[in-house]
Structure 1
Amino acid sequence: MSSPTTPSFGKLALAATGGVLVARGLRRLPTARFAGMSGTSIAGPSAAGWVTDFLNAAYYRRDPAERTTADLRLAFGILTTRWHRTGAGRLHAADVTAFHRAFGRERFVDDADSPRGTLNTQQLHEGAARLFGDWFLDAWHDPVRRAYGIAFPEPADRDAYLPELRLDHAKLGGITPPQAAAAEQTWHTYPPVRLGDASAAEIAVELLLRPETWPDYGSELGRFTPVRSGGLEGQTFEIEVVGEPVGPVPLLLRAYVTVTEVLTAGDALTLHLERLNDTFARYTPFDPRPLPEGAQGVALIELTTHAGHFLGRARNRLLVFTSEGQAWVRAIGNWDPLDWHLDRLYAGMGRHSQHAFWGMGQSEESVLHQLAGAVADQDAHA
């Protein structure tokens, strides 16, 4: 884990379907620039510096013992709510004035609870109230008024929201499933993450079937935000990642994936998992079976990349299953051979972050651990 004075961006990477590639290396690649996937769809290039500085202050620059992923999600929520309430145009350099008025004083005060350049939880709450009004925090903590990573004053405002607004500034290419022969592709099963007892599987599936909740499971390596109206079938997600600053200019990255299949318990899921297990046994015999022996599949969600994705043509699946009275979720990926420059990055640096994002490593790095936390919270309040 990084020291309190050094942002943990040193290992921040593109957390996306099939893998995570380190942002520092990507920025130097002509092919990555050609892909045009730097930046987030809600912020223009002129906002990159202050947006990343705000996220640093709210999370990455703070002492790891004091920060929480809930604060990071709140910081993203403040940015996204600001974007929405200013007409869904991209954030620009001029928006820093409002943020400075709301958060600036606290950031420049150096005390035991909040060293200079950082914002603790209370300061985030107080600044958000100054920026939006007293309604914001109540709405943020209300699942009826929080959706798509945005806090809405009233449920009617949430119902009227069009997630397609993010596509106005997206660079959404065509969908790109793997095309190479199966024997040439990389097939990989990630470690499962425990959700709780068997009943937790149903809660997890209920949450995952509501794409507007996916930003609630964001980790320090990345987050998913839906960009289409409707449910999970055919949904497209923008994956946002903040990369390590290279020189004076921070780097924001994004990628897109679309849900190409959703299967819940039944014959179709059973057949799909049998075929998937057979495929892994044939092409990756040393990887664990996607569905362990004796386990029962509960749901499977397949995500497929779009053109411009940093891992090229790829698929990833989220599998919820039960085994021996416990519920689990795991990621299962496959992708075409990487171009040489991406292969070097993946082999040298991306593989570790990829595993961490999908569950192996610190819980704050993993979107699946964050999902497990949301499942536990919902189960406790049931």
Structure 2
Amino acid sequence: MKASHVLSAAAGAGAALAVDRALRSGPGQLVRRGGSTLASPTASAWVTDFLNAAHYAKDPADRDLDDLRLAFTILTTYWHQQGTRTLGAADVVRFHSAFGTARFRGAGGRTGLLDTASLLDGGARLIGGWFPEAAQDRDRRGWGIAFPTAAARAAHDPEVRLARANPGPLTPPRRPVAEQVWHTYPPVEVPDAAATAAAVLDVAHWPDYASELGRFTPLRRRGLDGQTFEIEVVGFPSPRTPVFLRAYVTVTTLVTADDPQLRDAWVEDVRAGFAARPQEQSPIPDGAEVHAGFDLTCHAGHFMGDAKNRLVLYSTDGRSFLRAAGTWDPMRWHLAELYDRVGAYSQHAFWGMSSPQESMLHQIADHVAEVAGP
């Protein structure tokens, strides 16, 4: 891995283009979006290699999600600093110059890996001396970007990325309700309902809750209501080779305790749907106090097809929980096969079933615990 940045760019560009062409043909049209709006297919190899060095190539016991989030921040901040042009194969030269020496030395005695100090030092060389401090300052971070000043953060227009994303039309479930799939995921306990609501409503910081399996980046100049997110989701065809797909969702309904009538109607609709499916547990227990809930409706090209997810924050028996539930039309064969092979596990893990490292909801809970303190 001593020249991994340069070699991966050269060797991987052709493969990336081939994958991109495959995804654009036939059934691939519904899952055609690979990677991120930040990088072209020719950059996918070195971008993946960089994220591997920060996280995925490390032994599980040595992984720290903060390093993965820092690596994403470096990529996104660099993209923003370049005038938001799409990153390409040539950008590997600057990354190799900034991080190559540290990778030769390695982290934890393993050549090719990057630890926190190496990421911060390389970020300073790549982006500017202000970067290490800004990357660790919540007031100067937003939308996955570190800014030199709080004023620069306040002036940022996230819709620059939206213009490149072209999310397409909304594709909610269209089949009769009786034919739809309704599924719920395990609840994730949070230490404080009010602090959790504040974290969820603070959309600019959603990239800070990235897990091993993906992250959400907001694209609109607005709060949670009506917000559109770019989702970068990770699949693992082999243990150290993450493959990134992207999709888009928009918050089409937001309910809070400020409008009890709207909230209660939303809760009743969710409970009625699950009541008709006794094999599925309702995501909202009887007697629970619902603080907030919202629908995340998919856009064309989403790997779930015509679908939406719901997130609900509620309290019951003196404890508070964040929970997800999904509704989707029966999938066409190519999406169903993809879902059965990797999607089902990833969905469950991301929404809270498995390791906290893989779940965005667990990362929100960890953030709230950190803010709330002992």
| TM-score when normalising by structure 2 | 0.89
Report the aligned-residue RMSD.
Answer: 2.2
| 1:279 CA displacement | 1.5
The reply on whether 1:324 has 2:332 as its aligned counterpart is no
- Structure 1's 289 and 244: CA in aligned 2 closer, same or farther, altered over 3 A? closer
The reply on whether 1:39 has 2:32 as its aligned counterpart is no
202-211 vs 363-372, which moves further: 202-211
Aligned counterpart in structure 1 of residue 331 of structure 2, from 332, 335, 338? 338
Q: How does 1:115-194 map to 2 (within 5 A)?
A: 115-194=110-189
Q: How does 1:18-167 map to 2 (within 5 A)?
A: 30-33=26-29, 35-110=31-106, 113-167=108-162
Tell me, what secondary structure is at the counterpart of 1:329?
strand
The reply on whether 1:269 has 2:235 as its aligned counterpart is no
| 1:177 CA displacement | 0.9
Contact persistence 2:172–2:298 (CA under 8 A): yes
Tell me, what secondary structure is at the counterpart of 1:371?
helix
Distance in 2, Cα, partners of 1:64 & 1:245: 17
| 1:278 CA displacement | 1.8
Contact persistence 2:30–2:305 (CA under 8 A): no
| 1:108 CA displacement | 2.2
Distance in 2, Cα, partners of 1:290 & 1:250: 31
Tell me, what secondary structure is at the counterpart of 2:275?
helix
Contact persistence 1:186–1:334 (CA under 8 A): yes
Distance in 2, Cα, partners of 1:341 & 1:354: 17
Q: Which residue of 2 aligns with 1:257?
A: 249
What do the CA deviations read for 1:41-99 (whole angstroms, capped 9, x no partner)? 01111211110000000000011111111111111000000000110111111111111
Q: Which residue of 2 aligns with 1:212?
A: 204
Distance in 2, Cα, partners of 1:104 & 1:230: 39
Distance in 1, Cα, partners of 2:25 & 2:154: 41
Distance in 2, Cα, partners of 1:366 & 1:30: 32
Contact persistence 1:177–1:305 (CA under 8 A): yes
Distance in 2, Cα, partners of 1:27 & 1:312: 15
Contact persistence 1:52–1:242 (CA under 8 A): no
Distance in 2, Cα, partners of 1:360 & 1:61: 23
Structure 1 unaligned residues grouped into runs of 5+: 6-22
Q: Which residue of 2 aligns with 1:15?
A: none
Contact persistence 2:30–2:300 (CA under 8 A): no
Q: Which residue of 2 aligns with 1:279?
A: 273
Q: Which residue of 1 aligns with 2:296?
A: 303
Whichever structure has more helix as a proportion of its residues is 2
| 1:244 CA displacement | 4.3
Distance in 2, Cα, partners of 1:341 & 1:171: 23
| 1:267 CA displacement | 2.5
Contact persistence 2:23–2:31 (CA under 8 A): no
Structure 2 unaligned residues grouped into runs of 5+: 2-18
Tell me, what secondary structure is at the counterpart of 2:62?
coil
The reply on whether 1:359 has 2:323 as its aligned counterpart is no
| 1:134 CA displacement | 2.8
What do the CA deviations read for 1:104-136 (whole angstroms, capped 9, x no partner)? 11212357x141121112211221122223311
Distance in 2, Cα, partners of 1:296 & 1:218: 27
Contact persistence 2:27–2:334 (CA under 8 A): no
Distance in 2, Cα, partners of 1:27 & 1:245: 16
Tell me, what secondary structure is at the counterpart of 2:70?
helix
| TM-score when normalising by structure 1 | 0.87
Distance in 1, Cα, partners of 2:180 & 2:269: 16
Distance in 2, Cα, partners of 1:250 & 1:318: 26
Distance in 1, Cα, partners of 2:100 & 2:35: 24
Distance in 2, Cα, partners of 1:243 & 1:188: 21
Tell me, what secondary structure is at the counterpart of 2:251?
strand
Identity across aligned pairs (percent)? 50
Contact persistence 1:27–1:33 (CA under 8 A): yes
Task: Between the two structures, name the one with larger relative contact order (CA 8 Å, sep ≥ 6).
Answer: 1
| Number of matched pairs | 352
| 1:38 CA displacement | 1.6
Distance in 2, Cα, partners of 1:171 & 1:45: 17
Distance in 1, Cα, partners of 2:106 & 2:248: 39
